[in-house]
Structure 1
Amino acid sequence: MPLLTKLAAALAFAGSLALAQVAVAAPAVTPLVTGEWLERHLERDDVIVIDIRSPFAKSSREDYLKSHIPGAVWSEYPGYWRTERDGVVGVLPSVDKLEAALSELGVSEDKAVVIVPHGTTSSEFGAAARIYWTFKYLGHDAVAILDGGFNGWVAEGRPLASGGVTPVGDMFIANPRDSYLVSTQQVAAKLDSDTVLLDGRPEAQFSGLEKHGKATRFGRIPGAVGLDQANFYDLEAGRLKDREEIAALVELTISDKSAEIVSYCNTGHWAATNWFVLHELAGYENVSLYDESMVGWSRDEALPIASERTAFDDIKDFFRDLLG
């Protein structure tokens, strides 16, 4: 075969490969996708829709079986997304276990994932944000949350299906981003530094008047600033507030977008919403998540805690528990 003919054949083959790669590439997604976008992409084999309605959101698999987005697979939260280690609840499972679970769900690097929360409360949105963060930590960027969740989809009159959907397994290989996750030891090393320790809990827990049931002490990490993640959620609409309102709320607390930020709460759940809002929507690039959070921090008596709690608060709680 003449050299020019061989060259032409090689170029044609390379072109066909490029076209094949384009054909199988996962569609581009933004952190939040609309119902209109998702409906247009439902028939694609490279889009996986994960319905996470579960007892956490006062729902169940039975609700999923009765009605769900066509083609959506069901995944319970927290389920295999979180685990308990050394007495600390809600932490990230091992990468091996997550790779196995996501492979069973049919996830692979050339597929986009859309997470569907119920669309009810800020805490329930936090489940979607935590799963979203998990994908990002594992190195999978083609992931999104359905804006408005399942309730928004129904309110828009979009198609529904019933019965279960069996996932078609694939091979998911993680490429973890260590900068997305920090340990208790790493956070302790950041005390008295310029790092912003962002507490996503309600004011009563931030101040030390209340605490999570698994935390052993009341209060917050010294030097932390409070930003209750519920501030970002529009309860009536069942979704996050618009970008401009979110940006204004964030800038009131952290004006420097170059700041190093550690997002925490009790178990890394509410913290995931603050991470999502800052890192994915508001343009803060240096944000990590502390998944052990106050439950993990409070268990180590050598670590300091700041609190406005007084002995009188202890007495009030004692009698409340006694009479309750």
Structure 2
Amino acid sequence: MTIKRILIGTALAAASGLAFGAESAPALVSPAWVAANACKSGVVVLDIRSPVGGGGNKFTYLRGHVPCAVYSNYKTAGWRVKEKGVPGMLPSVASLNKLIGGLGIDNTAHVVIYAGGGNALDMGSATRVFWTFKVLGDDNVSVMDGGYKAYVAGKHPVKRGAHKLSSAQFSGHLDAALLATEANVEQAIKTGNEKLIDNRPSAQYLGIVKSGADKRAGTLPGASNLPQSWFTVNDGGKFRSAAQLKELYRHAGVPTSGRQINFCNTGHWASLGWFVSYELLGNKQAKVYDGSMTQWSRNPQLPMVTKVKLSQAN
């Protein structure tokens, strides 16, 4: 079967409201698709908004959510942990298996993740959890394009209160091909064999602004800047088309193929860059540097580049 036929078949399935199989789940599904499939057998919708309703939404999960969606707090449920003083790191496989299984998700479920959808930063929550499933070897996972904000704007049905599923057995395994380590980044800098992509705002890339989690300002030697806000329309919750994304990659001088390592401060924005490259543009050689600049900047022996050096005078 040709790639064109596969894409056409996926589009027709989405339009008709059919559930997807484990090998054909698309990276993005529309709010309309979610509304039509959220309560169907084999589909688990996962709401990962913050308790106060991230992305500018006025609704918490209990006050309004996609029907049949289960809830897990992205910040506190255990999707990310502090490791050796570095926040936001990928937990152990055993911990993630327990977390996911506890939500009622097994290895046969088509998981659809949604964030608030207020901006690209917010959508990074969904792509980070999506990447986590992929790292665990689960390909039957999607992100709702536009997040909850787009879902509500489409006047789709909303439910109040909590929806819980019975605990299930989830068994993941680490796919190291999607994960870059500090040692991998050191090797990439030395050899130039992997493109380094800084997905932080340009001010952080240039060294004008430093995240509070980082010990030093600047970026990795040889890195190109592709800010997270470029990936969504007007820095909102809806991802740009592949054609627009390719234009932006060209503008930033970043190839859309080949070995790449996406990084930011703690691996949140980097998951957006990875999602766009790996899923929306089809580059299966893209990785996420989980520790990112927060880990890297803690070691004074590791090189960094500050592109704009301001005087110390007030």
TM-score range, shorter chain: 0.7 to 0.9
Mapped contact 1:218–1:309 kept (Cα < 8 A)? no
Q: After TM superposition, give the deviation of residue 267 of structure 1 in Å.
A: 0.4
27, 30, 33: which one aligns with 1:31: 27
Q: After TM superposition, give the deviation of residue 259 of structure 1 in Å.
A: 1.7
Query: In the alignment, residue 29 of structure 2 is paired with which amino acid?
Result: V
Q: How has the CA–CA distance of structure 1 residues 174 and 293 changed in structure 2, closer, same or farther, with 3 Å as cutoff?
A: same
Q: How many pairs align? A: 293
Mapped contact 1:24–1:46 kept (Cα < 8 A)? no
110, 119, 122: which one aligns with 2:120: 122
* Partner residue, 1:197: 196
141, 162, 165: which one aligns with 1:164: 162
Q: Percent same amino acid at aligned positions?
A: 33
Instruction: Give the SS at the match of 1:240.
Output: coil
Q: Answer yes or no: is 1:73 the counterpart of 2:70.
A: yes
Q: After TM superposition, give the deviation of residue 205 of structure 1 in Å.
A: 0.5
Q: After TM superposition, give the deviation of residue 169 of structure 1 in Å.
A: 1.1
Q: After TM superposition, give the deviation of residue 61 of structure 1 in Å.
A: 11
Q: Which moved more, 1:44-53 or 1:122-131?
A: 44-53
Q: After TM superposition, give the deviation of residue 241 of structure 1 in Å.
A: 1.6
Q: Which moved more, 1:231-240 or 1:23-32?
A: 23-32
* Partner residue, 1:63: 60
Query: In the alignment, residue 228 of structure 2 is paired with which amino acid?
Result: Q
Which structure 1 residue ranges, 5 or more long, are not aligned? 1-22, 317-324
Query: In the alignment, residue 153 of structure 1 is paired with which amino acid?
Result: Y
Cα distance in 2, alignment partners of residues 174 and 251 from structure 1: 36
Mapped contact 2:22–2:139 kept (Cα < 8 A)? no
Q: After TM superposition, give the deviation of residue 38 of structure 1 in Å.
A: 1.6
Cα distance in 2, alignment partners of residues 25 and 225 from structure 1: 37
Q: Which moved more, 1:23-32 or 1:246-255?
A: 23-32
Q: Give the alignment's Cα RMSD to 1 decimal.
A: 2.2
Residues 291-310 of structure 1 aligned to structure 2 (within 5 Å):
291-310=290-309
Q: After TM superposition, give the deviation of residue 57 of structure 1 in Å.
A: 2.2
Q: How has the CA–CA distance of structure 1 residues 148 and 29 changed in structure 2, closer, same or farther, with 3 Å as cutoff?
A: same
Q: How has the CA–CA distance of structure 1 residues 56 and 289 changed in structure 2, closer, same or farther, with 3 Å as cutoff?
A: farther
Query: In the alignment, residue 75 of structure 1 is paired with which amino acid?
Result: S
Provide Cα deviations, 1:85-116, integer angstroms capped at 9, x if missing partner. Answer: 11111110111100100000111111100001
* Partner residue, 2:49: 53
Mapped contact 2:115–2:122 kept (Cα < 8 A)? yes
Cα distance in 2, alignment partners of residues 263 and 271 from structure 1: 5
Q: After TM superposition, give the deviation of residue 40 of structure 1 in Å.
A: 2.3
* Partner residue, 2:81: 83
Query: In the alignment, residue 83 of structure 1 is paired with which amino acid?
Result: V
* Partner residue, 2:207: 208
* Partner residue, 1:43: 39
Moved over 6 A (4+): 59-62
Provide Cα deviations, 1:52-71, integer angstroms capped at 9, x if missing partner. Answer: 11058267997111111110
Bigger proportion of residues as helix: 1
Cα distance in 1, alignment partners of residues 57 and 168 from structure 2: 26
Which structure 2 residue ranges, 5 or more long, are not aligned? 1-18
